[in-house]
Amino acid sequence: MTEQRTQESPGDGVSTINYALAINHAMAEEMRRDSRVWILGQDVGRMGGVFGVTRGLLDEFGPLRVRDTAINETFIVGAAAGAAMTGTIPIAELQFADFMLIAGDEIFGKLAKWRYMHGGKLSLPAVVRVPTGLLGGVGAEHSQSLEVLGMHFPGVKVALPSTPADAKGLLKSAIRDPNPVLFFEHKGLYRVKGEVPDDPEFLVPFGVAAVRRRGDALTVIATGMMVDRTLAAADVLAREGHEVEVIDPRTLVPLDMETILESVQRTGRAMIVHEAVRTAGAGAEIASRIHEELFFALDAPVWRLGAIDTPIPQDPELEQLCIPQVPGIVEAMRGLIAL
C-alpha cells in the first residue's frame, strides 16, 4: 500500500484524464502487451461503446480482437468463459450491470464455478465490465448496484473503482488476474477527471483498501459513487471538530478487512455507505464482520446507509431520493458520533 501511494502521487508521467478514458487506456495497454487479450460486447467496435469507453480500439486492434456482438448477453459472457478456459483473455462489456442477471448462469454458474467443478484443471481469466449505478433517468432496469452478488457467489472477484487512477490500475490487474473478475464501472463517474499514471506497469492490487482520509472520530467505509459524497460529508464534520476516517475498499472480493478492522479498532465507531440497496447489501456483510471481530472495541453499533427498498424510479430527481445524499450522510455521521 505504501508503494501504491507513491505511484499515485502526481508528478512526471501523470495525465489528468477522465474515468472512461482511464479504463480505455487500461484495455489498450493490456491489448498491446498481450495479444491474447480481446473484447466483445454490443456496440463496442464501430461505435466505441454506448458510454464511449472502447473508442478507438477497433481501429487499433481490428475486428477479431474487438468484436461487436448481437443483443445476446448470455452469449457474451458464456463465450468469454469458454474463451478464457482455452487460452485467451476476454474482456466482456455489458451495456448495463443490470444485464448481469440475463447472463446470470454464465457469470455465477460458469465463470465462478467451472474451475472448481473441474478439479482445478482449467483457469478462467475473464473480465466482465459492467456499468453500474444511477445515471439520471435510465430507470429501474438500468440503474441497479448489484455488486453484492459477486460476494455471494464464491469464485468471482469484484472491483468497484471510485477514481480514474483506480479504474485504470484495477482494470489492468483484473486483465492480468488468472481469475474471473466482475468490474463495476460507475456510470456517474465516467466523465470525472483525475490524475492517472501513464506507466504501463501501473497496477492497483486487489484486496488493498485505500484510506481516502485520516481521522479518529469515526470510520466510514464507502464504495463507488459514495466515496466522494462521504468525503464531502467528512469535510462538514471536520469543520465541526470531528475527523472522520474514510476507507474505500476498492475491491469487495477480496475484501481488505485488515485495513477496516485496524481503523475501527482505533475509532471505535463504524458506518458503511453504499449506493446498493441497504438490505442484504455489502454493508450488511461488512457490519457483521466488524461486530464479530471487534464487539468489545466498539463504542456504538455499526450503521449502514444504502438505497431504500424500492426499485429505482425513472425520474432523475426522484431517483436521487432513493440513495444516500451528502446531507443524510452528514446527519448519520453526527448521530453515530453522538451515540
Partner 1 sequence: MASSAPRKRAATVITEVDATRATDLYRTVARIRAAELVLQRHITEHGFGGFWHPGLGQEGVQAGAVAALRTDDYMFIAHRGLGYALAKGMSLESLFGDLFARTVGSTGGKGGGTVHFVDPERGVLGQGGAIGSSFVLGAGAAISGQMLGTDRVCAIFFGDGASSRGTWHESALQASVWKLPIVWICENNGWAVSARISEQSPTENIADRASAYGVPGVIVDGQDAIAVFDAVTEAVDRARAGHGPTLIEAKTMRIRGHYEGDRQKYRDDLLVGDEIPRDPLGILREHVPASVADQLDDDARHEAESVLASVLEAPRADPSIIYKDVWS
- Stretch touching partner 1 by CB under 8 A, among 118-126, 202-210, 307-315, 319-327: 118-126
Residue 178, number of CB atoms within 10 A of its CB? 10
288 lies in the binding site for partner 1 (CB under 8 A): no
d(CA 10, CA 151): 33
d(CA 187, CA 79): 25
CB of 1 to partner 1, least distance (A): 21
d(CA 92, CA 27): 11
CB of 91 to partner 1, least distance (A): 13
CA distances from 193 to 76, 165, 211, 260 (A): 30, 9, 20, 27
137 lies in the binding site for partner 1 (CB under 8 A): no
d(CA 280, CA 72): 29
CB of 85 to partner 1, least distance (A): 6
Whether omega for the bond prior to residue 313 falls within 30 degrees of 0, making it cis, is no
Is residue 142 annotated as a catalytic residue, yes or no?
yes
CA distances from 102 to 53, 96, 183, 277 (A): 22, 11, 17, 20
CB of 306 to partner 1, least distance (A): 28
Shorter beta-carbon distance to partner 1: residue 119 or 241 = 119
Residue 323, number of CB atoms within 10 A of its CB? 25
Shorter beta-carbon distance to partner 1: residue 120 or 241 = 120
d(CA 34, CA 176): 10
Of 25, 118, 142, 291, catalytic: 142
Binders in 144-203 for partner 1, by CB under 8 A: 154-155, 178-179
99 lies in the binding site for partner 1 (CB under 8 A): no
Candidate residues 41, 45, 49, 125; the one interacting with partner 1 per rule CB under 8 A? 125
Candidate residues 65, 142, 229, 250; the one interacting with partner 1 per rule CB under 8 A? 65
Residue 166 CB partners (closer than 8 Å, separation 6+) = 204, 210, 248, 250
114 lies in the binding site for partner 1 (CB under 8 A): yes
- Stretch touching partner 1 by CB under 8 A, among 20-28, 72-80, 164-172, 280-288: 72-80
CB of 8 to partner 1, least distance (A): 27
CA distances from 71 to 104, 111, 284 (A): 15, 20, 35
256 CA to centre of own chain? 14
- Stretch touching partner 1 by CB under 8 A, among 70-78, 200-208, 228-236, 308-316: 70-78
CB of 49 to partner 1, least distance (A): 19
Shorter beta-carbon distance to partner 1: residue 125 or 306 = 125
Give the residue numbers marked as catalytic: 142
Residues that bind partner 1 (CB under 8 A): 36, 38, 64-65, 67, 69-70, 72, 74-75, 77-88, 90, 105-106, 109-110, 114-125, 154-155, 178-179
